[in-house]
Amino acid sequence: MTKPIIGISLNETEDSGAKLHNLPINYLPAGYVRGVQQVGGLPILLPVSSKEDAKSYVTQIDKLVLTGGQNVNPKFYNEKRLFDESLMLTPRDEFELALIHEAIRQEKPIFAVCRGLQLLNVALGGTLHQDLSKRDIEPVKHMQDPTPREIPTHSVTIKEDSLISQVYGNETKVNSFHFQAIKDVAKELVVTATSEDGIVEAVESLDEKNRWIGLQWHPDFYFEEFEKERQMFDFVVNEL
């Protein structure tokens, strides 16, 4: 049986630190790759490239996974930047926006995690909260450091009959590693999970023919500890 080919977006840094001789590297948390492999998918890694390459990459994959990482440059949703420039990587934004639009054009499913969820919303015309820590109150801690990544720290309520409810039911506990979040939801998306303070935790396509899922949490961080997160990878690779 042919394995589904899952394209996974890579991050990059100009300085990998002393352990890797301070080399510029493309990189990816291994959980994305292992999660896809363990449920029968074939991961193909997509390094930051030119926008013009997006069509060729998407043509070769069955599904697209957008991974976590930097803040999204607010110029893409027409706002002034309120955070340090070092916290974003505009060439990555440009390439992944092109991947999103090409995946939509080719009708390929999209699974978007953390920053990926935010970028999907921006690609479709939505906006973001640039820094949740600047709110007057923070009833839910959305950046859980120093709590370990494999420990869920807050609950989310899930929309009945959503795609993700098939995996998680109507409520689940999740990890949380983000400063940004969806503010204005793109018209083509529907919110399918929220935290108790109203932050968007998951989205799906409003049109059922488009197979898009976005999660604000990281199943890649703890799918080996929690069966539901492994099931999420299984759903994405084999059913989405």
Residues with Cβ within 8 Å of 82's Cβ and at least 6 positions away in sequence, in order, are 74, 130, 131, 134
Q: What is the mean pLDDT of each run of 10 residues along the chain (240 residues)?
A: 94 82 87 96 97 97 97 95 88 97 97 97 96 72 72 86 95 84 96 91 91 93 88 96
Which one-letter amino acid corresponds to residue 185? V
pLDDT for the residue numbered 144: 59
Does domain 5-239 correspond to CATH entry 3.40.50.880?
Answer: yes
Q: Determine how β-strand 171-174 pairs with β-strand 154-158.
A: antiparallel
10 DSSP 8-state letter:
P
pLDDT for the residue numbered 134: 75
Rg value, the chain, Cα = 17
Place of tokens 């689940």: 172
State the pTM of this model.
0.94
Q: Does residue 147 contact residue 194 with C-beta atoms inside 8 Å?
A: no
pLDDT for the residue numbered 138: 66
Domain ranges of the chain: 5-239
Which one-letter amino acid corresponds to residue 83? F
C-alpha 182/C-alpha 193 separation (Å) is 12
pLDDT for the residue numbered 151: 75
Among 13, 22, 72, 12, which residue's Cα sits nearest to residue 45? 12
pLDDT for the residue numbered 61: 98
Q: How many residues does the chain have?
A: 240
